[in-house]
Homo-oligomer: A and B are copies of this chain.
Amino acid sequence: MARSLGGLEAAAEWPAVRARLPDMTGLRVVDLGCGFGWFARWAREAGASAVLGLDVSEKMLARARADTHDPAIAYRLDDLETFGLTAGGFDLAYSSLAFHYVAGFERLARIVHAALTPGGRLVFSQEHPIFTAPEKPGWIDGPAGRRAWRLNDYGREGGRTTNWLAPGVVKQHRTLGTILNTLIRSGFAIRHVEDWRPSPEQAAAAPALGADEFDRPTFLIVEAQR
């Protein structure tokens, strides 16, 4: 994946996610699903005082550790289904495209809320529910040459087995209402919800991406505050 190998700038939605982040100066940050550590290193360059990155992949953490030379960044092998965090230990929780793999989102939301200081923020992206809903996601030809996204099963929440990155990976489909209500029930105030679309500049530079993302969103971006 270009996004894993190329760093934050290789992810088209990164500028929109970055726009939701607070001033990073002095923040204690946790990155839920840190992968190769791109965000952890960016956060430190942007002024964070400490970053903890969690990931379920030992392989990705090994590379993250090899690429990181900063005693204020720590990585920990952990599973977002079962993890724990120090209560009040963080000012910002960040996550990129990880939450749609987590079945226990209610538990995750409670733990992240407790881990934040009052006023602390959770900023995350995940696959959009329109994208995770269909058992067989894809396009279908429509009338008058207008292709359409083949949407069904939006109201049927639960696991979807895909063979995309690896065979048998299970994604968890939740409606947008369920995602937001889970955060609200956990005590978060919703600050921003974004069905991500490319900027005009991005759409001009990558017309196929622009066409896809204006027909149906791939990414959901949420900013919530304790």
Contact = CB atoms under 8 A, between A and B. Distances in A.
Each complex incorporates copies of this chain amounting to 2
Chain A interface residue bracket vs B: 35 or more
Contacts of A181: 192-194
A214 B184 contact: no
Interface string A111-136: 00000000000000000011000111
Contacts of A153: 214-215
A217 to B, nearest CB: 6
Given A176-B176, A184-B192, A197 B155 contact: yes
Interface in A134-149: 134-136, 140, 142-143, 146-149
10 contacts: A130-B151, A140-B140, A140-B142, A140-B148, A140-B150, A142-B152, A151-B151, A152-B216, A155-B215, A190-B190
Interface of A: 129-130, 134-136, 140, 142-143, 146-156, 175-177, 180-181, 184, 189-195, 197, 213-217
